[in-house]
Amino acid sequence: APVMCVDSSPPGRRLLVSASRDRTLKLWNIVTGSLLKTLAGHDADVLWCCFSPHWPFIASSSADGTCRIWHVDHGNCLTQLALHDIGVSAIATSCIFSPDGWRLLTTSDDGIMRAFALDTCHLVGTYAAEARE
């Protein structure tokens, strides 16, 4: 399946995560190139992935309208942030952790960026992308 995104782990971890159109994330050993585990759960293409600055978490965003937080060591989905739960019908196109690791910032095809607090999983901010001429 085509790979949509890749990210490397924090220093010293030697891992790579990839997001692909087969609806999965894959965790790789960056030194040997071996596949360590597959993270499944999204219902559509996984478009983006990133490691948290706080080990051992990964975030992913998908065409299914969700962003998920995964535990690297266990391979399980810890939480799902569904854009439709906040009244939005959109594709989650990307996500990134804030530098302190306590918020997840998401983008979607509706032109809105959203910030979620990870301790409560609540939406804490929205930012409209404005076209500039």
What SS3 string covers 91-109? CEEEEEECCCCCEEEEEEC
Task: Say what the pLDDT of residue 71 is.
Answer: 95
Q: Is the dihedral angle over the CA atoms 48, 30, 97, 52 positive or is it negative?
A: positive
Low-confidence residues of the chain, pLDDT below 50?
131
Tens-place pLDDT, residues 72-95:
999 999 999 887 666 666 788 899
Instruction: Tell me what pLDDT residue 1 has.
Output: 86
Closest among 65, 80, 68, 70 to 112, alpha carbons compared: 65
